[in-house]
Amino acid sequence: MADPMLKVTDLVVHYGAIQALRGISFEVAPREIITLIGSNGAGKSTTLHSISNIIKKTGGSVFFDGNNISSLPPERIVASGLVQAPEGRRIFANLSVRDNLEMGAYTRSDRGGIKTDMEMVFGIFPRLKERIRQIAGTLSGGEQQMLAMGRALMAKPRLLLLDEPSMGLAPILVDEIFSVIRRINEAGTTILLVEQNAFKALGIAARGYILETGQVVKSGPAADLMKDDAVKVAYLGG
């Protein structure tokens, strides 16, 4: 495997007296899709938040492109090319679609590049272009998820952290979102995907890590995990 783009080592996080992560370690190589799978409360979102330094680590290290980013402020992490599209979309509901996308580019000053990337986002999500002046809070759930992903892409990520992108979406929209994730990856963006829909996630990922109660309990090539009897019973509906 190539030198990892992201290397997470012995990550520990506490919420007060509760230990949410218990020494998680994993790697993401350039241009891979890696997925973290687990039930509610397993520590998936906490892992992403601690990588982005939105929540503080109790222990462990995060390396991005060989640089230790464990104590960098979140905005510096975004500017370095590691960008998160959060669970629950977290769009700016009172702003227009265009304003939300421009907010995604807040760390950038290359006006020409920002304009080019907005057209790139509209190429991926044509519905956003149709609704460019619409207030984001009035979009459908699927359109809001597209906007959250589009806003993240405006930050020009080299590594995109996706937190539960299919949550609450109708099955036809889930297919569309996963198709887009694959397309973003094929265009060169590395992806770390947190997803409760384990079947869909393993279907597009190169490798997966199974989290239970804040620990990695199993990992391997996605195709192998899909055939694993314990994984099938716990996450793939038998």
Q: Where in the chain is the domain with CATH 3.40.50.300?
A: 1-81+157-174+189-238
pLDDT confidence band for 238 (50 / 70 / 90): low
The CA distance from 114 to 154, in Å, is 7
pLDDT confidence band for 88 (50 / 70 / 90): low
The CA distance from 71 to 234, in Å, is 35
The CA distance from 45 to 86, in Å, is 9
Lowest pLDDT segment from 18-22, 27-31, 170-174, 205-209 = 170-174
35: nearest Cα among 152, 149, 148, 162: 162
Encode pLDDT of 155-174 as tens digits. Answer: 999 999 999 999 888 888 89
Encode pLDDT of 47-87 as tens digits. Answer: 999 999 999 999 999 999 999 999 999 999 999 999 998 87
Over residues 171-180, the mean pLDDT reads 90
The CA distance from 194 to 47, in Å, is 9
20: nearest Cα among 46, 40, 38: 46
Q: Is the pLDDT of residue 130 over 80?
A: yes
In this prediction, residue 236 carries a pLDDT of: 85
- Which one is the CATH code of 1-81+157-174+189-238: 3.40.640.10, 3.40.50.300, 1.10.645.10, 3.40.50.1400? 3.40.50.300
pLDDT confidence band for 18 (50 / 70 / 90): very high
Over residues 178-196, the mean pLDDT reads 94
In this prediction, residue 90 carries a pLDDT of: 83
